[in-house]
Amino acid sequence: MNKPDAQRPRSALIVLVLGSIVAGLILLELGLRASTWVYLFNWPNFVLGARTVHTERDSGRHIHDARLGHTPRPNYAAPGLTIDADGLRLTGEPPASAAGTGGPILGGSILAVGDSFTFGEEVADDEAWPAQLQQLVGRRVLNAGVSGYGFDQIVLRAETLAATFAPSAIIVAFIADDIRRTEMRRLWGADKPYYDIEKETLTLRNVPVPPRAAPQATLNFWHRILGYSYLADFLMRRLDLLYDWYGDHLRVHPAGTGERIACLLTERLAELQRSGGARVLVVAEYDRVVWDDPAFAAEQRRLTEGLLACARQRGLDTIDSFAVMSRHAGDKGPRGLYVQWHMNAEGNRLIARAIAADLARPYIPPSR
């Protein structure tokens, strides 16, 4: 028997095995679809569908911004959510004086910048911590939080709005994931500005920021093929990989670079404090998963403590909410401070009280 003839049975076996695998996957696909009945006759691209829904929701609430990527849509309103003409979330009217403080704490407005935790996702206007802080301190608090922002966008928005509103204090709030977001040029389908580091100096890139691309344009080969598979979607859900499967993220820096970028950005906040005279307070908040996963919590704490240390080294005041949240009583402990992913009214009240207590301390503006 010649060599090609000897290889023929092995090749046939490989084909048989591959065919069996493909047939098994098809049967699993059809079986899962039959269990839902709906998807037995409906074969959408699940990735495209998820990205389209997110884009439509995001485009309704936000407008494109050439410097920041996106900002809240002025005069937008939905149940429990109101954006004013300046693109700030409504905080209501401040009281004549703050109960328990003997009067107003500050002489001017307070600017609050941050991500979805500052904006107040999953709660009503008056339940977000900037609105609750306003009631405590008796001064106007401007809620300039924007969902999905990285720490780079948060600092840029602080600089932009400080020039417009000349606040007496600027509260810069973040969660650890905002540090990772500085390593990206696109998050959830929306392009954003980002910084490069050149000899320990930050250089702003991707500005003007391009408008959001259509969801169809961001699908890769696997999204276009496996996106139609209910089996693949089912597995991604069970493996908790939907963030990468559905999300449209484009990385420009290696993991870990964001820590250096965020640290250098605190110098911009320090300069903002020196030049404008507004007290800058950096506040750390926490993802809900911190209270469920010890390994995740350890990494989030490391990132958070690193950024807070950078801020303190540059003369900025800081608050780490971890300790006060850890002491929260109740059957659920700190988990009782969340709706699903974001703080509930009680959790936001805790953050507002911590900030109000810090603002009540005497403050001496830095010399210029």
Kindly state whether residue 367 falls inside one of the protein's structural domains: no
Residues 121 and 211 in one domain: yes
Confidence of residue 14 (pLDDT cuts 50, 70, 90): confident
Tokens of 265: 């950005």
Residues 67 and 19 in one domain: no
**Do the Cβ atoms of 180 and 121 come closer than 8 Å?**
no
Query: pLDDT exceeding 70 applies to what percent of the chain?
Result: 94
Which letter, b or e, does each residue of 222-241 get, where b requires 16 or more Cβ atoms within 10 Å of its Cβ?
ebeebbbbbbbbbebeeeee
**Distance, CA of 357 to chain centre:** 26
Kindly state whether residue 79 falls inside one of the protein's structural domains: yes
**Do the Cβ atoms of 250 and 210 come closer than 8 Å?**
no
| pLDDT for the residue numbered 74 | 98
Confidence of residue 4 (pLDDT cuts 50, 70, 90): low
Tokens of 109: 């407005």
Kindly state whether residue 366 falls inside one of the protein's structural domains: no
pLDDT at 192 over 50: yes
Residue 300 sits in a domain whose CATH number is: 3.40.50.1110
pLDDT at 2 over 80: no
Domain that holds residue 36: 3-41
CB neighbours of 150 closer than 8 A, spacing ≥ 6?
A: 115, 178, 179, 180, 181, 182, 184, 187, 192, 194, 258
Instruction: Summarize the confidence of residues 302-328 as an average pLDDT.
Output: 96
Residues 57 and 20 in one domain: no
Residues 113 and 12 in one domain: no
CB neighbours of 269 closer than 8 A, spacing ≥ 6?
A: 155, 158, 170, 172, 280, 282, 311, 314, 316
Kindly state whether residue 365 falls inside one of the protein's structural domains: no
| pLDDT for the residue numbered 109 | 94
Kindly state whether residue 180 falls inside one of the protein's structural domains: yes
Residues 263 and 314 in one domain: yes
| CA-to-CA separations, 14 to 2, 4, 89, 286, in angstroms, rounded | 20, 15, 61, 51
144-156 pLDDT per residue, tens:
999 999 999 999 9
| pLDDT for the residue numbered 227 | 93
Residues 326 and 355 in one domain: yes
**Distance, CA of 340 to chain centre:** 14
Confidence of residue 19 (pLDDT cuts 50, 70, 90): confident
Residues 30 and 167 in one domain: no
29-75 pLDDT per residue, tens:
888 888 888 888 899 999 999 999 989 988 999 999 999 999 999 99
Confidence of residue 97 (pLDDT cuts 50, 70, 90): low
Residues 26 and 51 in one domain: no
Confidence of residue 5 (pLDDT cuts 50, 70, 90): low
| pLDDT for the residue numbered 368 | 54
pLDDT at 366 over 70: no
Instruction: Summarize the confidence of residues 130-134 as an average pLDDT.
Output: 98
| pLDDT for the residue numbered 98 | 45
Confidence of residue 174 (pLDDT cuts 50, 70, 90): very high
233-259 pLDDT per residue, tens:
989 888 888 888 888 999 999 999 999
Residues 184 and 314 in one domain: yes
Kindly state whether residue 279 falls inside one of the protein's structural domains: yes
- Overall number of domains in the chain: 2
Kindly state whether residue 138 falls inside one of the protein's structural domains: yes
| pLDDT for the residue numbered 100 | 40
pLDDT at 205 over 50: yes
Q: How far apart are CA 286 and CA 177, in angstroms?
A: 9
Kindly state whether residue 368 falls inside one of the protein's structural domains: no
pLDDT at 118 over 60: yes
330-358 pLDDT per residue, tens:
788 999 999 999 999 999 999 999 999 99
pLDDT at 78 over 80: yes
What's at 286, amino acid-wise?
A: Y
| pLDDT for the residue numbered 7 | 58
- How does the average pLDDT of the chain come out, rounded? 91
Helices 257-276 & 294-313 angle (0-180, nearest 10): 40
Tokens of 188: 């959830």
pLDDT at 17 over 80: no
Query: pLDDT exceeding 90 applies to what percent of the chain?
Result: 73
| pLDDT for the residue numbered 47 | 93
Residues 214 and 124 in one domain: yes
Q: How far apart are CA 298 and CA 173, in angstroms?
A: 20
Residues 71 and 204 in one domain: yes
Residues 19 and 56 in one domain: no
